[in-house]
Amino acid sequence: MSTEIVKLRAPIMEALLPRKGIARYASYLGLAVVGSILLWVSAKTQVPFFPVPMTLQTLALLLIAATCGFRLGLAVVGLYMIEGMLGLPVFSSSPERGIGIAYMTGPTGGYLAGFVVATALVGWFSERGAAESAVKLFAVMFVGVVLVLALGFIWLSTFIGPQAAFSAGIAPFLLGELFKVGIAAMMVPAAARLLKR
């Protein structure tokens, strides 16, 4: 019986960092801050789409997970969640619909939990070669987005019931999420090829 050793691939962002020392850890911190700001800006950016306008947040989330990998991706999302917990208006509907822990445990709390799960999944598979293939990355990112929507649906259902949760929290966003997965899955391998050159 043979045992297969999976060779981990360094995420794209690793290629841009200093090799070791304090400069490397400072770079990690800088990337986490920049990534959390990117999530913040993407949550507030709306693009006209059918049937409803879409934010760019899941696109940013998927790109961060695929390019930063498991640990740094989770650090970025974790910092973003801490910023929100502290009351900064980083989420798409804050401060209009509340801030801090009250917002995070409100109707959209399941989607926020899904962000963490999707980041872990996409980052983990990215480090195992998925980021090198648009097809593989599309599949992984699609599953990640399904998990975001599923957790969002489950949590939202406790507030407004399953039928209303699907109609308001899932159906209007399916086409937009699929579009964002396609864009992200093409961008990351293309960026990796550019870096290799």
* pLDDT range class, residue 195, cuts 50, 70, 90: confident
Question: Which residue shows structure tokens 């498991």?
Answer: 70
Residues 148-180 pLDDT 10s: 999 999 999 999 999 999 999 999 999 999 999
Question: Does the global pTM surpass 0.85?
Answer: yes
User: Domains of the chain (ranges plus CATH)?
Assistant: 12-196 (1.10.1760.20)
Q: 183: which 2 tokens? A: 């864009």
Does the pLDDT of residue 110 top 90, yes or no? yes
Burial of 50 (0-12, 13-18, 19+ CB in 10 A): exposed
Decide which of 79 and 14 is more confident: 79
Residue 3 or 27, more confident? 27
What is the 8-class DSSP label of residue 131?
Answer: G
User: Mean pLDDT, to the nearest integer, of 7-30?
Assistant: 78
- Average pLDDT over every residue of 130-145: 96
How does DSSP classify residue 12? G
Strands 54-55 and 46-47: antiparallel
